[in-house]
């Protein structure tokens, strides 16, 4: 009895070791829905072209409906002997409906079949990821709105630089995630092309209507070269590249959440349900979720490296190497979806500690630039103003006070042009309000951005 789809030519059965080594069914069965969807579109077209009968088409539909029910209920028996998802489903179809099942593969190869399945499946996931990215952005916009005038020390080199609104800081991440969503939309265009009809590599002698199949499956175009159609995995690399960048953004945000929650900063608290304790230190509350997300970034970047290396050096057209495209894609999608979901929820549960943020901003002479700008407005060249203020900061450090705590007389010793209105300039709030250019941190600018994001995300 023959167990393989091709075994008539072979004089001995496949080695058990090789069977296990080459089989993919235990992971690619995840593509079953796309596989059935693709087969139905192909069969419908075969029937429309007169390549199979209406009866065959009806039988295939009936068989696929039963297979769907079996897989959904868990009754479907996946067989390692049948190698992959495609052969498992086709074999069961033939078992159920006989010759009609055997006619399904007319004008088709597993090479164009698998390329179609992966694209179909990934398209659905890309759309879901787009939605989840929207949810995360909305959650961050909410927290940003509540903190449009919460003062946070802005850092460069992790040294206190200038005050920024905490909301402004969060909206920087919204910009990153908006670009990530844009990248998903962009790569979807190239992903959404139909390989079916490429057959094994050269196209087929049957009069297939590829445009019809593309329409049925919602593909925007058909692959225009059969060799490329079966062997292109650019779409998978583009996706993992976009996913890597997304995870890099998640990782940077994670790093900040972890820093902010540490006792030395104490700027925020994460809800207990997102933290874990220690089995030895009773006082501990650890930000495991952002830490793990930062760690999982490495794994997604690894998948990008894996896929790009997988393609390097492959001659045209299909090679079995391509079977290795699936696990990295599956794991990337799983990691992204879980991470995005958990971050949207976690963002909503952030407790902000404005006093600690303000204290830290004050301690770092965050308004020193404002004093220099003030002197420029009084007629000093900026370089001179910079030096004058550096002296003032040096003295204030020695005295252990903030610039705003120096008296007017003390300040005037640095430059006689300094007047009473300097104290508004030296205040954190004054500094924040002053940065009122488009994209700046002034609270009304932050509110304008919140409104723009809300309209965009609605």
Binding site for ligand ARG (CB under 6 A): 24, 28, 84, 110-111, 114, 318, 320, 322-323
Is residue 154 classed as helix, strand or coil in its secondary structure?
Answer: strand
| CA nearest neighbour of 200 among 87, 83, 319, 24 | 319
State the nearest-atom distance from the C-beta of 447 to ligand ARG, in Å. 51
Calpha distance 106→42 (Å, rounded):
9
The nearer residue to ligand ARG, 39 or 297, going by C-beta atoms, is: 39
Calpha distance 419→423 (Å, rounded):
9
Contact 357, 150 (CB under 8 A): yes
Which of 11, 157, 279, 407 is an active site residue?
A: 157
State the nearest-atom distance from the C-beta of 156 to ligand ARG, in Å. 48
State the nearest-atom distance from the C-beta of 358 to ligand ARG, in Å. 57
Q: Which uninterrupted H or E stretch holds 94?
A: helix 85-97
User: Which residues, including other chains, have CB under 8 Å from residue 313's CB and lie 6 or more apart?
Assistant: none
What letter would DSSP give residue 160?
E
Which of 3, 7, 53, 278 is an active site residue?
A: 278
Phi and psi torsions of 68, nearest 5°:
-60, -45
The nearer residue to ligand ARG, 109 or 162, going by C-beta atoms, is: 109
Residue 311 Cα distances to 323, 395, 421, angstroms: 11, 62, 65
State the nearest-atom distance from the C-beta of 112 to ligand ARG, in Å. 9
The verdict on whether 278 is a catalytic residue reads: yes
The verdict on whether 407 is a catalytic residue reads: no
The nearer residue to ligand ARG, 9 or 75, going by C-beta atoms, is: 9
The nearer residue to ligand ARG, 91 or 245, going by C-beta atoms, is: 91
The nearer residue to ligand ARG, 4 or 410, going by C-beta atoms, is: 4
State the nearest-atom distance from the C-beta of 31 to ligand ARG, in Å. 9
Calpha distance 264→257 (Å, rounded):
13
CB atoms within 10 A of CB 30: 17
Contact 209, 45 (CB under 8 A): yes
Active site residues: 157, 278
């Amino acid at each position: 009895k023959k167990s393989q789809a091709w075994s008539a030519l072979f004089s001995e059965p496949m080695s058990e070791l090789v069977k296990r080594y080459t089989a993919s069914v235990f992971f690619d069965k995840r593509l079953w829905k796309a596989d059935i969807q693709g087969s139905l579109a192909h069969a419908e077209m075969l029937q429309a072209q007169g390549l199979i009968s209406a009866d065959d088409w009806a039988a295939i539909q009936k068989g696929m409906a039963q297979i769907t029910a079996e897989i959904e209920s868990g009754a479907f028996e996946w067989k390692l002997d049948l190698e992959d998802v495609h052969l498992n489903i086709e074999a069961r179809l033939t078992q159920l409906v006989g010759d009609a099942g055997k006619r399904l593969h007319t004008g088709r190869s597993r090479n164009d079949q698998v390329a179609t399945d992966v694209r179909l499946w990934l398209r659905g996931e890309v759309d879901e990821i787009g939605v989840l990215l929207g949810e995360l952005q909305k959650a961050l916009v909410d927290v940003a709105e509540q903190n449009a005038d919460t003062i946070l020390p802005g850092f460069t080199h992790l040294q206190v630089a200038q005050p920024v609104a905490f909301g402004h800081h969060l909206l920087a991440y919204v910009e990153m995630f908006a670009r990530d969503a844009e990248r998903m939309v962009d790569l979807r265009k190239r992903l959404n092309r139909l390989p079916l009809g490429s057959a094994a590599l050269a196209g087929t002698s049957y009069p297939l209507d590829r445009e019809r199949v593309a329409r049925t499956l919602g593909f925007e175009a058909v692959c225009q070269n059969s060799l490329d159609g079966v062997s292109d995995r650019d779409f998978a690399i583009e996706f993992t590249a976009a996913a890597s960048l997304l995870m890099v953004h998640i990782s940077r945000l994670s790093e900040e959440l972890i820093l902010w929650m540490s006792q030395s900063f104490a700027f925020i608290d994460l809800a207990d349900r997102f933290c874990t304790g220690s089995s030895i230190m009773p006082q501990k509350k650890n930000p495991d979720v952002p830490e793990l997300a930062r760690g999982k970034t490495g794994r997604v970047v690894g998948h990008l490296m894996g896929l790009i290396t997988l393609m390097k050096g492959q001659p045209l057209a299909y090679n079995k190497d391509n079977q290795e495209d699936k696990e990295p894609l599956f794991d990337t999608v799983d990691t992204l979806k879980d991470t995005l979901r958990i971050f949207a929820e976690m963002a909503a549960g952030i407790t902000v500690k404005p006093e600690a943020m303000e204290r830290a901003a004050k301690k770092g002479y965050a308004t020193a630039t404002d004093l220099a700008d003030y002197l420029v407005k009084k007629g000093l060249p900026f370089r001179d103003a910079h030096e004058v203020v550096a002296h003032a900061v040096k003295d204030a450090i020695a005295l252990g006070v903030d610039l705003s705590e120096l008296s007017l007389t003390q300040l005037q010793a640095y430059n006689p042009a300094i007047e009473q209105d300097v104290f508004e300039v030296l205040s954190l709030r004054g500094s924040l309000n002053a940065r009122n250019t488009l994209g700046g941190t002034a609270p009304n600018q932050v509110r304008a951005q919140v409104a723009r994001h809300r309209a965009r995300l609605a």
